[in-house]
């Protein structure tokens, strides 16, 4: 029966739900649930998110979003709005992959060739930090 409803409001709601599902499939996994379809009119899709960081990440993903949402038809432009009061889920953190020992050796060697300064100190700290985390993760 619900599929037979011809009410314009119901039709509009189904369009927005389809766009939200397409959006959820198109955004990077860590942004799912943090971005909502706020509106759609005359081919302009408005997305809402709760922070500037999420909006920036969305804008970086714009080419992929455009392609995925164009498949839904009639989407010619995507606009992103930050709405701090929006209560969405927080973006998940991307999984951290430890650097390999070979990569750490290369970074350590690069740090040793540099003159004293902030870059050398930062590389040395990074190598030390990753080596300590790597050993802890391996149970040593």
Mean pLDDT of the chain: 80
**11 and 77 together in one domain:** yes
Q: Above 70 in pLDDT, residue 34?
A: yes
Number of domains forming the structure of the chain: 2
Q: Above 90 in pLDDT, residue 66?
A: no
Please give the structure tokens belonging to residue 47.
Answer: 């997305």
Which residue, 82, 111, 126, sits at the end of a domain? 82
Determine contact, residues 41/77, Cβ cutoff 8 Å. no
Mean local confidence (pLDDT), 40-50: 86
Q: Which SS3 state, helix, strand or coil, does residue 61 take?
A: coil
- Which of 33-42, 58-67, 86-95, 130-139 reaches the highest mean pLDDT? 33-42
Residue whose pair of structure tokens reads 């005359």 in the numeric block: 42
Q: Output 87 or 80, whichever has higher pLDDT.
A: 80
- Domain assignment of residue 88, yes or no: no
Q: Above 70 in pLDDT, residue 90?
A: no
Q: Above 60 in pLDDT, residue 36?
A: yes
Please give the structure tokens belonging to residue 7.
Answer: 């009410």
- What CATH number does residue 58 fall under? 3.30.300.130
- Domain assignment of residue 71, yes or no: yes
- Domain assignment of residue 22, yes or no: yes
CA pair distance 79, 58, nearest whole angstrom = 10
- Confidence at residue 140, expressed as pLDDT on a 0 to 100 scale: 41
Q: Above 50 in pLDDT, residue 78?
A: yes
CA pair distance 131, 51, nearest whole angstrom = 33
- Domain assignment of residue 133, yes or no: yes
| For helices 62-70 and 52-60, angle between their N-to-C axes, nearest 10 degrees | 70
Q: Above 50 in pLDDT, residue 52?
A: yes
- Confidence at residue 116, expressed as pLDDT on a 0 to 100 scale: 93
Question: What is the domain extent for residue 67?
Answer: 2-82
**25 and 78 together in one domain:** yes
Determine contact, residues 30/93, Cβ cutoff 8 Å. yes
- Domain assignment of residue 20, yes or no: yes
The pTM (predicted TM-score) of the whole model is 0.55
Confidence band, pLDDT 50/70/90 cuts, at residue 51: confident
Give the DSSP letter of residue 97: -
Please give the structure tokens belonging to residue 113.
Answer: 């060739």
**73 and 105 together in one domain:** no
- Domain assignment of residue 96, yes or no: no
């Amino acid at each position: 029966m619900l599929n037979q409803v011809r009410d314009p409001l119901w039709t509009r709601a189904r369009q927005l739900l389809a766009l939200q599902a397409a959006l959820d499939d198109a955004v990077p996994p860590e942004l799912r649930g943090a971005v909502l379809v706020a509106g759609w009119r005359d081919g302009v899709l408005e997305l809402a998110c709760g922070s500037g960081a999420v909006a920036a990440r969305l804008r970086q993903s714009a080419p992929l979003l455009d392609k995925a949402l164009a498949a839904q038809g009639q989407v010619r432009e995507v606009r992103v709005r930050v709405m701090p009061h929006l209560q969405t889920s927080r973006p998940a953190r991307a999984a951290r992959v430890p650097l390999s020992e070979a990569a750490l050796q290369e970074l350590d060697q690069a740090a040793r060739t540099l003159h004293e300064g902030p870059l050398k100190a930062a590389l040395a700290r990074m190598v030390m930090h990753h080596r300590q985390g790597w050993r802890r993760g391996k149970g040593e």
